[in-house]
A and B are shown apart, each in its own frame.
Chain A
């Protein structure tokens, strides 16, 4: 079956974002190992939770990207949607933590909702008929 260019683009974007998040994870691991400087006002527990979330997100992004390329229903549509929901939960956690620490809400943090939102719409509406293998 013919794979639409948009699905390939989505897979590539997934891999790029996974790479960037992977770099962030590496930075966190360095901080947690004690060789890097820890950001002020952040507990060790928060960093562990963040590292755990990031690891899960990177893994899901890569697996979903492979699913898009192979046009799989399970690995592509369902895991891709799960990754988007996971990212939204991650965003909610970071937001609650930030507000709980007394920092003001910034609209620019909403940028993190864009890709999960687009992914959910595209997978379950536009590419629904393509992710069937």
Chain B
């Protein structure tokens, strides 16, 4: 049985909350932190382009050479590089501009965490301030819940799109030895991967907000859970291959599928991200619909 959603009401909530989000504490803090981190990362990668050239010089070395062995050891032990398979790493290192690839992997590692800073205040802010009772007579709970999720998504899309465009422009200006089409297509892929890996985490914070009902509690619980899964999952997966399943509570492992060369991996990861988003939103909705507001 489907749940009817009033799209018009939902979009009104999105527009209203988006205006508030830009003026809110989480919105401003996210804007400053995101721009500092990602622009700095992008700027460093632009500075390195003249040295990084088109591909890593390591690509041309034989597999049994000493530098290749050291590099492989580093790649196995340093996150976020250890999160991709040797096959994916070889593709990123040898068939794509290596500096852009390094930016891609570090951004995949960092950006989903930064999204948590933005999205903890969604429905929790309204619940905590008790202002939700004045909104609900005019708007349904589901429209409010989805509308707030969409406003966060809109804000993230605009900020990350602008930053990726600026960094791409830098790559194009500095990387004269790089092919224009390759840079543009790879940038589009980076943006799509970052966006798709952030969407489930916005939904995850929607769920936490609906469950906890207080912004501070949502923030600490959400960030704490994320770090716990990341750290404990990372430690456990070193002990046993089966323990990697623990990682799949959050889309921590699956986001690195975006780095694989094949389109099948990319689409598979995209479908998985949609499934995560739907699952988190559904669990959150199950809590919110019964909540006494």
Chain A contacts to B: CB under 8 angstroms: 4-10, 13, 106-111, 114-115, 118, 122, 126-127, 130
Contact = CB atoms under 8 A, between A and B. Distances in A.
A114 B32 CA distance: 8
Interface string B160-180: 000000000010001000000
Contacts of B231: none
B23 A127 contact: yes
A82 to B, nearest CB: 19
Given A118-B35, A127-B23, A10 B28 contact: yes
Contacts of A107: 43-44, 46-47, 170, 174
Contacts of A108: 40, 43-44, 47
A43 to B, nearest CB: 26
Contacts of A110: 39, 43
A5 B26 contact: yes
Contacts of B24: 4-6
Interface in B53-98: none
Given A108-B47, A130-B23, 14 more contacts: A4-B24, A6-B22, A6-B23, A6-B24, A6-B28, A7-B23, A106-B47, A107-B174, A108-B44, A111-B40, A111-B43, A114-B39, A118-B31, A118-B35
Give the interface centre of A4, A7, A106 by most chain B CB atoms within 10 Å.
A4
B28 A122 contact: yes
A132 to B, nearest CB: 14
B36 A114 contact: yes
B25 interface: yes
Contacts of A115: 32, 36
A103 to B, nearest CB: 12
Interface string B8-47: 0000000000000011111111011001100110011011
A122 to B, nearest CB: 7
A6 B21 CA distance: 9
A122 B46 CA distance: 27
Nearest to B166: A110
A107 B174 CA distance: 10
Contacts of B25: 5-6, 8-9
B23 A4 contact: yes
6 contacts: A5-B28, A9-B28, A10-B28, A108-B40, A111-B43, A118-B32
B29 to A, nearest CB: 5
Nearest to B26: A5
A106 B44 CA distance: 8
Contacts of B27: 6
Q: Which 5 A-B pairs have the closest CB atoms?
A: A5-B25, A6-B28, A107-B43, A9-B25, A4-B23
Contacts of B29: 9, 13
Contacts of A126: 22-23
A109 B43 CA distance: 8
A132 B43 CA distance: 37
Contacts of A6: 22-25, 27-28
